[in-house]
Amino acid sequence: MSTKPSQAATKISTWQTFVRLMGYAKAYKVGFLLSILGMLTYAGIDLLFLSKLQPLIDDGLTGADPNFMKWAPIFVISCFLIRGISHFIANYFLAWVGNNVVSDLRQHIFEHVISMPVAFHDHVSTGTLISKLTFDTEQVLNATSKALLTLVQQGVFVFGLIGLMFYHSWQLSLIFLLIVPLIAFIITYVSKRFRQVSKKIQGAMGEVTSSAEQTFNGHKVVLTFDGQQRESDRFSRINKNNRQQRMKMISARAASVPLIQIIASFALAFILYAVTTPEMADIKPGVFIAVVTYMTMLMNPLKQLTNVNSEFQKGMAASVSIFDVLDQETEQDTGTIALERAQGTLAFKQVNFFYNEQDEKQALTDLTFSANVGETVALVGRSGSGKSTASALLLRFYNATTGKVLIDGRNITDYKLKDLRRQFAYVSQQVVLFNDSIANNIAYGKPEATLAEIENAARKAHVMEFVAGLPEGLDTNIGDNGAMLSGGQRQRVAIARALLCDAPFLILDEATSALDTESERHIQDALSILQKDRTCIVIAHRLSTIESADKIIVMDQGKIKEQGDHQTLLALDGAYAQLHKFQFGA
């Protein structure tokens, strides 16, 4: 699965993308209409002011109309007053709409991404998703505010100037029209170039974010293995590619603006030549100066429109990238049966599983076992043998390719997804804690829990032993992913979280791996209480933690090699016995 724009996405036109993006602005249509009104008024005032240039010369300055000059000062002040108010309204309300649209879009992306199946996150880096949430949406903000403001305001101004030119002298104005197709061709070509480069810039920014995130998260490993220079060189290559893509954008923009202005200057030069011919000898000075002024005034808005086109195309390319993610299906809940609280039996019936359809190797092959209420089933085996995959199927992070996973005798795909997952308390070998207080981390699976319940769970998991030494006790903030705690302390908080859930099923995936011997003994005491009348799946490498399990299943390459209790498997003198001898000596 990839977040790169699909083939269908690349065929979507700029207009289609813009219309879809503007769909987010419907809720803010009053502000949007006010901003458009402000833009039109701003451009209209400029055109009105310039339209008085010809009468100023032919009537006012010559004295043909004395009243004209009397009203001119009031007219100028009024125009600039209305112009200033219009400018504020256009900028403020468009920024208000743009920021609200981007805020809603970010929220939509965030909610969509956390609703995606686990398989999506397996294949897409976190850095790439963060880049879409930050950098790409920032490009959209530019497109919906600055770019749109310039496109509308300067676009109206350009068409108004052309209209004034034709009103005063259609003959001179026709000369300008001859260069319009050439300018249109340049803008169209540059727009395509802008959009292509923008996509590459977005990809490059995703790589920058991903590389930095990976290195910062693994900072201790980098320092330990003297990898600073290697990481610096790798980031330098990615950063250089990002810079090169940006320079391509700048070069296209820098070349297009003077090219258009040079072409326009040829039209202006030809007009200057045309008025010297006998056919144009009767043209009034005011008309001539007005047309030439209008043509000169066209240079700046044409420059702005060409420059802002790059911003607009970047925004549209970013929108395509974002919509491509939003168009991917979220996790599908096919279940229809509500499940308040399971009785606690589970079974795997001839389960086969491939992570990808293209994979030749199965992750699980003909997996069949069962567990009754209150039983503890331990899954042991080498890394990659399929132990964690089996637990992932229970939680429906993935669905079995063939076969069935049953809870209380019913296929888990029949249950509503949220109801199913509420039946499990889960502690993984990779503890995930949030940048919040210890109490809130423990209560994450049960937000409505009382302080007494949180303290009780913390006490059973031996969290209170180290909390007593913290300045704010359970209210102490533990930093990003529990950075303020040791590995064993983080593990105990995660176990307290599972204890508080009070679910009928408990999955412990190497749950005691980060604990010292004394802490492990305390946790085992707590787990023995927790496991009473609950079905427990324990995934472990250390056999000392699962000797008392009701059933031990030895797995290898996704298959069950043998199963039974501890004494039975030792008597078989098979794979489990060999593993036991390896860990405890002959």
Domains of the chain, by residue range, sit at 7-326, 346-584
For residue 346, what pLDDT band results from cuts at 50, 70 and 90? very high
pLDDT above 50 for 276: yes
Residues 141-160: what's their mean pLDDT? Answer: 82
pLDDT confidence of residue 450: 92
What count of other Cβ atoms lies within 10 Å of the Cβ of residue 464?
Answer: 18
Range scoring the smallest mean pLDDT among 218-222, 267-271, 461-465? 218-222
Residues 21-49: what's their mean pLDDT? Answer: 89
Kindly report the backbone phi and psi dihedral angles of residue 535, in degrees, each rounded to the nearest multiple of 5, phi listed first.
Answer: -90, 130
For residue 191, what pLDDT band results from cuts at 50, 70 and 90? low
pLDDT digits (tens, 9 = 90+) for 408-448: 999 999 999 999 999 998 887 778 888 889 999 999 888 89
Q: Which residue, among 385, 422, 420, 386, has the nearest Cα to 406 in the 3D structure?
A: 420
For residue 63, what pLDDT band results from cuts at 50, 70 and 90? low
For residue 7, what pLDDT band results from cuts at 50, 70 and 90? very low
pLDDT confidence of residue 217: 65
Signed CA dihedral, 128, 134, 140, 143: sign only:
negative
For residue 82, what pLDDT band results from cuts at 50, 70 and 90? very high
Cα 85 to Cα 92: distance, rounded to the nearest angstrom? 11
pLDDT digits (tens, 9 = 90+) for 102-135: 889 989 999 999 888 888 888 888 878 888 888 8
pLDDT confidence of residue 9: 43
Which of 11-20, 65-74, 241-250, 344-353 has the largest mean confidence? 344-353
pLDDT confidence of residue 525: 67
Where residue 322 falls (left for φ over 0; alpha for ψ -120 to 50; beta otherwise) is: alpha
pLDDT confidence of residue 369: 93
Q: Which residue, among 346, 505, 340, has the nearest Cα to 416 in the 3D structure?
A: 340
Classify domain 7-326 by CATH architecture: Up-down Bundle (1.20)
**CB burial of residue 70 (10 Å; 0-12, 13-18, 19+):** exposed
pLDDT confidence of residue 195: 64
Q: What mean pLDDT is reported for the chain?
A: 81
Residues 16-45: what's their mean pLDDT? Answer: 89
pLDDT confidence of residue 396: 92
pLDDT digits (tens, 9 = 90+) for 375-405: 899 999 888 888 889 989 999 999 999 999 9
112 or 167: whose pLDDT is higher? 112
pLDDT digits (tens, 9 = 90+) for 283-324: 777 777 777 777 777 777 877 777 677 778 778 888 888 999
**CB-based contact 560:552 (threshold 8 Å):** no
Give the C-alpha distances (Å, rounded to integers) separating 132 from 52, 58, 506. Answer: 49, 58, 36
Q: Which residue, among 121, 128, 99, has the nearest Cα to 4 in the 3D structure?
A: 128
Range scoring the smallest mean pLDDT among 66-70, 215-219, 320-324, 343-347? 215-219
Dihedral of the alpha carbons of 505, 509, 511, 514, in degrees to the nearest 10: -170
Angle at 257 between CA 252 and CA 262, to 5 degrees: 125
Signed CA dihedral, 448, 451, 457, 462: sign only:
positive
Element (H, E) at 64: none
pTM over 0.85: no
pLDDT confidence of residue 6: 44
pLDDT digits (tens, 9 = 90+) for 500-541: 888 899 888 876 665 566 666 666 666 666 677 789 999 887
Q: Any idea which fold 346-584 has?
A: Rossmann fold (3.40.50)
Amino acid in position 280: M
- Here the tokens at position 415 are 């249950």
**CB-based contact 249:198 (threshold 8 Å):** yes
pLDDT above 60 for 1: no
Q: Which residue, among 297, 291, 263, has the nearest Cα to 275 in the 3D structure?
A: 291
For residue 10, what pLDDT band results from cuts at 50, 70 and 90? very low
Residues 27-43: what's their mean pLDDT? Answer: 91
Range scoring the smallest mean pLDDT among 95-104, 335-344, 540-549? 540-549
Kindly report the backbone phi and psi dihedral angles of residue 352, in degrees, each rounded to the nearest multiple of 5, phi listed first.
Answer: -120, 145
pLDDT confidence of residue 419: 92
